[in-house]
Amino acid sequence: MAGREVFFEFKRVGAYVRVSAIDSVTGTEVTVAGDAKAGEAMLKQTALRKLQYVLSKGSATGNR
C-alpha cells in the first residue's frame, strides 16, 4: 500500500484484542479480533491484510 497511511486502533476486550485498520486515502475501515497473546505485530499484519483485501475488492467493482 505504497503512498498510503494506515491508522490502527487496538482495544482489549477480555481475552482478545479488537484491531481496526483505517485507510487514510479512502477512509475504509476493517476490524479483526484475535488472541491478545498473539502480539501486536501479528494482529496488525492480519488487519492490514484484511484492509488490502477489502480495498482490492472495491477497486475491482469500481466502489471506492
Specify the higher pLDDT residue, 62 or 19: 19
What confidence score (pLDDT) does residue 38 get?
Answer: 94
What confidence score (pLDDT) does residue 60 get?
Answer: 53
Q: Are 18 and 33 in contact (CB under 8 A)?
A: yes
pLDDT-above-70 percentage for the chain: 89
Q: Look up residue 50 and give its three cell numbers.
A: 484484511
Amino acid, single-letter form, for residue 4: R
Q: Give pLDDT tens digits for 21-51.
A: 999 999 999 999 999 999 999 999 999 999 9
